[in-house]
Amino acid sequence: MFFFDRIGVPSIEEMIAKYGSSDEWQRAKTIEWMVKIAQVRKAGRKQLFEGQSRLSFLADGAAAAGGLTYRPILIDCDDETRSKRLTIHRGQPELANKEMMNWARYLRHSARIEGCDILDTSSISLDESVLYVSTRLGG
């Protein structure tokens, strides 16, 4: 399993200095991850890649990796649940803001347009969520 944030997330200033924008940083790092995943996939192993990225960046990464096939699943929840999880469970109330809710709305809209699976975790258990994802991975 690969975790996008494992590489660390630099400050906005660092992203802009090196990549020109935070979007371009995310695009470049998504492509790097997809190339790494393609190498593991050559050995015949399925991989789960956890992270937030634009679907277009996943497509760019798959192309850069030589046509890697992938199946994105948006793990989503309603804004009230997101706020509660960020504030109470993660102890990061500063992230429960309008920007975060707009980002989630953007990802949801993009997933619908692209026909991606969307798993709404607002009212289901962690076990049910894991079962959903593992079923789609074929395991």
Per domain, the residue ranges of the chain are 1-70, 73-139
Q: What is the CA radius of gyration of the chain?
A: 16
Contact indicator for 105, 96 with CB cutoff of 8 Å: no
Q: How do residues 26-58 score in pLDDT, each as one tens digit?
A: 999 999 989 989 988 888 888 888 888 899 999
CA-nearest of 38, 33, 44, 32 to 2 is: 33
Cα atoms in the Cβ-side hemisphere of radius 13 Å centred on 67: 0
On average, the pLDDT of the chain sits at 91
Q: For residues 132 and 119, give the distance between their C-alpha atoms in angstroms, rounded to a whole number.
A: 8
Q: For residues 9 and 105, give the distance between their C-alpha atoms in angstroms, rounded to a whole number.
A: 22
pTM, rounded to two decimals: 0.81
